[in-house]
A and B are shown apart, each in its own frame.
Chain A
Amino acid sequence: MGTEARKPPPQIALKIRRVLGGKTGWNGIAVQFAFAAVLGWIAYEIISNARANLENQHIAAGFGFLGNNAGFDVNQTLISYTGSDTFLRVFVVGLLNTLVVSVVGIVFATLIGFIVALCRLSPNWLVARVGEIYVEVIRNLPLLFQILFWYLAVLAALPNPRQSISLFGIAFVSNRGLVIPRPIGESGFEAFLAVLVFGIVASLALRVYARRALFQRGQMIRIWPYVLGLLFGLPLVTMLISGLPFTFELPQLKGFNFAGGSRIIPEFVALTLALSTYTAAFIAEIVRAGILSVHSGQMEAGSSLGLSRGTTLRLVVVPQAMRVIVPPLTNQYLNLTKNSSLAVAIGYPDLVSVFAGTSLSQTGQAIEIIAMTMGVYLLISLITSAIMSVYGWRVSRSLGA
């Protein structure tokens, strides 16, 4: 009998259409062609204009300038640098300065942020209000305003080096920056360092072992005395055996400035202060929201299981809050790194300041320099977002399991 179902029509054309043009099919393909034509036209205009303009200004395009001598000095360098080094070296110096100020800023911002968040959550009315005032004031003032305030008003109002404020006779604050003792390695330094690294690695291994014992065999191991011994006891013993690992060179006032010790330039101090206090206000709000997002029933459930308040917080509330806190917190860290580019306003030698600022005005290679600068920040944020999507995937997997 001829009642067999008809074969479905071939779907190949449909599939191609779907891949090329999305849901809208041939219309979509037409739109894409028009769009590509417009993009191509814009790209052509940009390239031809840029070529004509560069020719008029007698600027050779390309990255050859990176090998030329920079010929200017940078007042804070982590790696050795002199004026006769190349622009590539300037780029690295600036990048390292950006990373240093970001890392220091992130550490302080996290500390202050968590403290302020705890203040805002405190049952004490006055402390909660103090935290709230801090957050409202800091969040509603521009970051650049705060950087300039610290740099031009507060740090500039400090006394000159001769009348500098002494902190216990070892560190000195003046309008030329902060001078702190410099550690100088002695003979026992290598041994000390090796023991310290060993202690950290061993503590981490111990923690992994203890967790495994807990999860697989249900066996509780108390590890903190061993960790304490590994981290502090062992280095102390090494110090007793092989002598002090390093001594401090104290800064001395000589003439109009300090000799000895290491100097932290005021630009760095102002930038770190402003960045960490500003980002801390945002971190405080994130942490507060994260902790409030954990249902109060969780706390009650923990205490009905017989856990103490501290244990409930540590084992029940904080892990759940961290899931909410970590993504926006990472975002704030990223913002801090990007905001460190405001250093250019006060002359801290970060990437934007020495590379997109000084180097650009010396070479005139606007396209290459700005593309490199933007590329660095773009790379940092893309890597961070990749790590964050892995984190999100792991969290959702652990929730699903």
Chain B
Amino acid sequence: MSDIASPSFVRQDLLDERPAPVKTTGFIGLVRTRLFNSPTNVLLTIIGALLLWFTIIPSVRFLVVDAVWTGKDRTACLAENAGFAVGACWPYIQAKLPQLIYGFYPEAERWRVNLTLVLAVVLLLPLLIPRLPSKGLNAGLFFFAFPVVAFFLLHGGGIKGFGLSSTADLLQLFDDSIIGAGQALLSLGKTSAAAPLLWVVGNFIVLVGTAIYWLIFPLTWLRDQLQGTGQSVWVDFAITAAIVSLIAFVLGGGVRTGVRALTSSIATFVAIAIVIELMGLDHGGLPIVTTNLWGGLLVTLVVSVTGIVTSLPIGIALALGRRSTIPLIRIFSIAFIEFWRGVPLITVLFFATYMLPLFLPGNFTVDGLVRALIGIALFTGAYQAENVRGGLAAIPRGQGEAAAALGLSWWKTSSLIVLPQALRHVIPNLVNSFISLFKDTSLVSIVALFDLLGSLRASFSDPKWSSPSTAFTGFAFAGIIYFIFCFGMSRYSLFVEHRLNAHRRN
């Protein structure tokens, strides 16, 4: 039959609207799903809220609400005078700010510190922004030119000669030491049992030393001639520029392709000449400010930037040495790295302060800051070596083998193929090392250098500002500075990591 039974039920009117689903997004959703969705969670939320309540509220009260903002000395920060329980004593920071930033750097010369900081920021910022071009030039300026300029800006003083004189001095020192060693062996040979052997070795070393002496004789002779002329710096500079440019020209490929190397060499020397002229380095330079007057944030930044700049080459060299197939170099690198990584930084600083002066010739005094810098460079270098090694291990063997197949030497393979890729890989790790280096610079205050923390500690003993809240205020201020630097660096490291892993994200 085809009679289709009328449908048993046809709805005649619209249904009521159903209630909206429980919201799982936005603030309400967050509260529902992640704060109050079960009895345990309610309890946890209450505990968390209480924890925040008892830490955030007192901190804010201390830093802002109950703080004293103006005053001339400690009386302004005493509860009796203020009339309420005093929080932070900000006038104390205002009064001590120069000391916390510059230490005892003379007031008239502080523009030099400011200028150095500005230079550092101007050079560093473009280096950190991946989109900006000419990273090579920028890195060269920051890692090579800036430290030299910063030294003459901060420390002051001029130069007596240039490349030629210093090379001649260095070589002569080296040669004297070799001849000295040979003569010591000869004199030892007169009494010792192994006399013939010592005599042969000693004579051989003296012979080598004498040969080197005659080899470098033209250089030393030229230097001695230069000392006589009035314009020794500029003559020396001209000779050095000519020699280096010529070498660059020849090595760059002579007439065929060497023009580029020649122009860049000449441009570099022109830039150096401008800097020398601007700072008057050839006639004394800026007034000298000895490092025992430096202090505060200045020392913190100097130590950390020097540590960063010097530890990276040390780290790369050690990492390559550790992967070398030459047994002695590998063993030495491993021992060196493991030694510095095995001891605490404070003993390294003690080593640098008390032991290093004993190892240097008696007439050769090293500045306290430089000693600490040497210790920190060695220590951080060992850590950087392990970071770099991680990057080297991540590069497929095929890269090196392909480069070798193209006929590149070990140096070219390393510097053009392997290292650039390896270093890109480990930028986040390197930045993390820099964060711990930045934090570790506070340790120099233990070996009598006044960095930010050391200056802060020194300022506590000023009776003019001693009040119950002085210490807390000082720590709050220094803590904020340290936190901004370290947090900034760690965010930057995350950003780079994110960028490097862009291809792995989905």
Decide yes or no: A127 and B45 within 8 Å by CB, A53-B362, A54-B358, A145-B442 being known contacts. Answer: yes
Report the separation of the CA atoms of residues A137 and B360 in the bound assembly, to the nearest whole angstrom: 42
Within B464-484, the residues touching A (CB, 8 Å) are 468, 471-472, 475, 478-479, 482-483
Check A53–B357 contact: CB distance below 8 A.
yes
Check A44–B181 contact: CB distance below 8 A.
yes
Check A148–B453 contact: CB distance below 8 A.
yes
Decide yes or no: A140 and B325 within 8 Å by CB, A50-B358, A153-B471, A370-B351 being known contacts. Answer: no
**Interface residue B487 (Cβ < 8 Å from any Cβ of A):** yes
Check B358–A48 contact: CB distance below 8 A.
no
Check B346–A378 contact: CB distance below 8 A.
no
Report the separation of the CA atoms of residues A339 and B440 in the bound assembly, to the nearest whole angstrom: 11
Decide yes or no: A142 and B347 within 8 Å by CB, A22-B324, A125-B30, A156-B471 being known contacts. Answer: no
**30 interchain pairs (CB within 8 A)?**
A23-B325, A45-B177, A49-B360, A123-B41, A124-B34, A124-B44, A126-B45, A126-B49, A127-B45, A142-B441, A142-B442, A143-B439, A145-B439, A145-B442, A145-B475, A148-B475, A149-B475, A149-B479, A152-B457, A152-B460, A152-B475, A153-B471, A157-B471, A344-B446, A352-B346, A356-B347, A366-B355, A367-B358, A378-B343, A381-B343
Contacts of A130 in B (CB 8 A): 48, 51-52
**Interface residue B139 (Cβ < 8 Å from any Cβ of A):** no
| Of listed A52, A141, A339, A381, residue having the most chain B CB within 10 A | A141
Check A377–B482 contact: CB distance below 8 A.
no
**Interface residue A237 (Cβ < 8 Å from any Cβ of B):** no
**Interface residue A296 (Cβ < 8 Å from any Cβ of B):** no
| Of listed B339, B442, B468, residue having the most chain A CB within 10 A | B442
**Interface residue B151 (Cβ < 8 Å from any Cβ of A):** no
Decide yes or no: A49 and B343 within 8 Å by CB, A35-B332, A142-B442 being known contacts. Answer: no
Contacts of A50 in B (CB 8 A): 358-359
Q: Which of A23, A31, A149, A373 contacts B329 (CB 8 A)?
A: A31
**Interface residue B341 (Cβ < 8 Å from any Cβ of A):** yes
Check A140–B362 contact: CB distance below 8 A.
no
| Of listed B41, B350, B361, B490, residue having the most chain A CB within 10 A | B350
**Interface residue A41 (Cβ < 8 Å from any Cβ of B):** yes
Check A48–B184 contact: CB distance below 8 A.
yes
- How would residues 64 to 76 of chain A score, 1 for a CB under 8 Å from any chain B CB and 0 otherwise? 0000000000000
Within A141-168, the residues touching B (CB, 8 Å) are 141-145, 148-149, 152-153, 156-157
Question: Separation in Å of the B215 CB from the closest CB of chain A?
Answer: 17
A-B pairs with the 4 shortest C-beta distances? A22-B325, A140-B486, A338-B344, A142-B439
CB-nearest residue of chain A relative to B328? A32
Check A370–B358 contact: CB distance below 8 A.
no
**Interface residue B47 (Cβ < 8 Å from any Cβ of A):** yes
| Of listed A44, A145, A378, A382, residue having the most chain B CB within 10 A | A145
**Interface residue A188 (Cβ < 8 Å from any Cβ of B):** no
| Of listed A140, A143, A145, A148, residue having the most chain B CB within 10 A | A140
Check A145–B453 contact: CB distance below 8 A.
yes
**Interface residue B144 (Cβ < 8 Å from any Cβ of A):** no
Within A345-389, the residues touching B (CB, 8 Å) are 345, 352, 356, 360, 366-367, 370, 373-374, 377-378, 381-382
Within B349-386, the residues touching A (CB, 8 Å) are 350-351, 354-355, 357-362
Report the separation of the CA atoms of residues A378 and B328 in the bound assembly, to the nearest whole angstrom: 22
Check B475–A367 contact: CB distance below 8 A.
no
- How would residues 109 to 138 of chain A score, 1 for a CB under 8 Å from any chain B CB and 0 otherwise? 000000000000011111101100000110
Check A127–B44 contact: CB distance below 8 A.
yes
Decide yes or no: A28 and B362 within 8 Å by CB, A370-B350, A377-B342 being known contacts. Answer: no
User: A28-B325, A125-B30 are known contacts; what are 16 more A-B pairs with Cβ within 8 Å?
Assistant: A22-B330, A24-B326, A32-B328, A45-B181, A53-B358, A126-B35, A140-B483, A144-B443, A145-B479, A152-B457, A152-B460, A157-B468, A339-B344, A377-B344, A377-B347, A381-B343
**Interface residue A279 (Cβ < 8 Å from any Cβ of B):** no
Check B181–A49 contact: CB distance below 8 A.
no
Contacts of B359 in A (CB 8 A): 45-46, 49-50
Check A366–B354 contact: CB distance below 8 A.
yes
Decide yes or no: A49 and B332 within 8 Å by CB, A148-B453, A341-B344 being known contacts. Answer: no
**Interface residue A342 (Cβ < 8 Å from any Cβ of B):** yes
Check A378–B339 contact: CB distance below 8 A.
yes
Report the separation of the CA atoms of residues A379 and B41 in the bound assembly, to the nearest whole angstrom: 47
**Interface residue B287 (Cβ < 8 Å from any Cβ of A):** no
Check A341–B355 contact: CB distance below 8 A.
no
Report the separation of the CA atoms of residues A20 and B329 in the bound assembly, to the nearest whole angstrom: 12
**Interface residue A261 (Cβ < 8 Å from any Cβ of B):** no
Question: Separation in Å of the B330 CB from the closest CB of chain A?
Answer: 8
Contacts of B328 in A (CB 8 A): 32, 35-36
Question: Separation in Å of the B30 CB from the closest CB of chain A?
Answer: 6
| Of listed A148, A149, A373, residue having the most chain B CB within 10 A | A148
CB-nearest residue of chain B relative to A339? B344
Contacts of B490 in A (CB 8 A): 139-140
**Interface residue A56 (Cβ < 8 Å from any Cβ of B):** yes
Contacts of A338 in B (CB 8 A): 343-344
Within B412-444, the residues touching A (CB, 8 Å) are 435, 439-443
Contacts of A41 in B (CB 8 A): 177-178, 181
Contacts of B48 in A (CB 8 A): 124, 126-127, 129-130
